[in-house]
Amino acid sequence: MSQKILLDKINIPGIKTYEVYRQNGGYASVEKALKTLTPDEVTEEVKKSGLRGRGGAGFPAGMKWSFIDKKSGKPRHLVCNADESEPGTFKDRYLMEYIPHLLIEGMITSSFALGANLSYIYIRGEYMWVFKILERAIAEAKAAGWLGKNILGTGYDLELYVHCGAGAYICGEETALIESLEGKRGNPRIKPPFPAVSGLWANPTVVNNVETIATVPWIINNSGDDYAKIGIGRSTGTKLISASGHIKNPGVYEIELGLSVDEFMNSDEYLGGMSSSRPLKAFVPGGSSVPILPAELIFKTANGEDRLMTYESLSDGGFATGSMLGSGGFIVYNDTACVVRNTWNFARFYHHESCGQCTPCREGTGWLEKILWRIENGQGREEDIELLWSIQSKIEGNTICPLGDAASWPVAAAIRHFRDEFEYHVRFPEKIKNRDHFVAEPFSQVKHLVGGKVIV
């Protein structure tokens, strides 16, 4: 059994309430930080831990904290990014819904480290029931003296609020989130200046993901060195994984980074293998924005090494033969899944969620969606595959924020690894007009029609 840091107490009856959470060691990190540590010492522990941002980018959290401007004299803010919008990702919701005080404790301890006296949790609009859970938990924490003026008699003040967004994926990008929090349209800002210098209301601001902030209490209660001993290499600690698709045991799992993909996929402790006798075809390891990988690159890297659940191993080989850990949205497909349909579905999402500020993204995502729809619905042309490749390459790297990249990478990876499936759609339109075309006749059985080897 792997060590549990975030989910260790989540099944305790009543842990959602302040009384039960406190009885089980809750808010100990706040006491320790405010009474025995300086803000810089708290930051140093997070640095030592090697904790990397769990929202997808994987940037070292302690280093990000150290960038905050402390010399200007302006108020500082911590903003929790709870705008969990990545298709296939639902682990932050799980934490907030079932153990909300863990996030609030993390917000208080982290705000103290940053010298922030006004902090926010920005939650997506579709999580309205979770919004109410957090509001109730904050009221409980404030009534117990953990928020407000002169917390624990230490002279430290903190007000914490939950702000509900309007359900825009783009507000998962930190500067778009800040714009929305200020009451504006959620458009990403050009950087620099970075939020650590000029963020919320032009004040120094740090934006961190729910899972990242919820990890801080354990680090402070134990130590950064103890956290760094968990995991492997630069991938320290544990990671929450949202698992879905054609597997026996979908759900949210906490793993120690360094676990093999094979063990995570096939052991009874985790996903339990495929949900039926149908073979594994592909998987997406980190949410809809990361490259899809075919079966032959899932358990082993291109160099023949075991593929591990780490930032480094999943990206081994670059995008040619690797992917990304991303937000931990682990989606598994058997051979009845259609990669073209899946890619079109992702493209449809990114087109809908583009803020429209950058021309390559605003126009390009729409073109990707239209062409993929055409191919999937039996109207594809031979030149469409190259056209898709050309469009995605002109979006990637040419936008203010990473949404353009997020739209491009799935398309590029699908063509790179499953080009013969695209060719099949174009050349045999009558065979794919049925929505479930690969259920009765999986592509592995017909790929010889486009020159591939038949796999039975």
Per-residue pLDDT of the chain (456 residues), as tens digits, is 679 999 999 999 999 999 999 999 999 999 999 999 999 999 999 999 999 999 888 899 999 999 999 999 999 999 999 999 999 999 999 999 999 999 999 999 999 999 999 999 999 999 999 999 999 999 999 999 999 999 999 999 999 999 999 989 999 999 999 999 999 999 999 999 999 999 999 999 999 999 999 999 999 999 999 999 999 999 999 999 999 999 999 999 999 999 999 999 999 999 999 999 999 999 999 999 999 999 999 999 999 999 999 999 999 999 999 999 999 999 999 999 999 999 999 999 999 999 999 999 999 999 999 999 999 999 999 999 999 999 999 999 999 999 999 999 999 999 999 999 999 999 999 999 888 899 989 999 998 998 755 443
CATH entry, 232-334, from 3.10.20.600, 1.20.120.10, 2.40.170.20, 1.10.3720.10: 3.10.20.600
Cα gap 321→165, rounded to integer Å: 37
Query: For residues 244 and 88, is the Cβ–Cβ distance under 8 A?
Result: yes
How are beta strands 156-164 and 118-123 bridged, if at all?
A: parallel
Query: For residues 267 and 322, is the Cβ–Cβ distance under 8 A?
Result: no
* CATH architecture for residues 339-449: Up-down Bundle (1.20)
Please report the pLDDT score of residue 241 as a whole number: 97
Instruction: Report residue 450 as tokens.
Output: 């486009």
Q: What does the DSSP 8-state code read for residue 305? A: P
Please report the pLDDT score of residue 454 as a whole number: 44
Report which of 241, 242, 273 is spatially closest to residue 257, judged by C-alpha positions: 241
Q: How many CB atoms lie within 10 A of CB 229?
A: 13
Q: Is the dihedral of CA 316, 400, 406, 5 positive or negative?
A: positive
DSSP β-bridge partners for residue 235 = 232
**The whole model's pTM is what?**
0.94
Report which of 24, 427, 29 is spatially closest to residue 214, judged by C-alpha positions: 29
Please report the pLDDT score of residue 1 as a whole number: 60
Whether the bond between 193 and the residue before it is cis, its omega within 30 degrees of 0, is yes
Cα gap 354→124, rounded to integer Å: 16
Query: Could you tell me which CATH class the domain 18-229 is placed in?
Result: alpha beta
Instruction: Report residue 41 as tokens.
Output: 């010492």
The ranges assigned to domains in the chain are: 18-229, 232-334, 339-449
Task: For residue 263, give the H/E element and its range.
Answer: helix 261-266
Cα gap 385→293, rounded to integer Å: 18
Please report the pLDDT score of residue 455 as a whole number: 44
Cα gap 406→414, rounded to integer Å: 13
* Sequence-ordered list of residues with C-beta below 8 angstroms from that of 23, at least 6 positions apart, any chain: none
Q: What does the DSSP 8-state code read for residue 399? A: S
DSSP β-bridge partners for residue 280 = 334
* Sequence-ordered list of residues with C-beta below 8 angstroms from that of 315, at least 6 positions apart, any chain: 322, 323, 324, 325
Please report the pLDDT score of residue 453 as a whole number: 53
Q: How many CB atoms lie within 10 A of CB 46?
A: 26
Cα gap 2→5, rounded to integer Å: 10
Instruction: Report residue 420 as tokens.
Output: 């013969």
Cα gap 456→446, rounded to integer Å: 10
Label residue 124 exposed, middle or buried (CB < 10 Å: 0-12, 13-18, 19+).
buried
Please report the pLDDT score of residue 178 as a whole number: 98
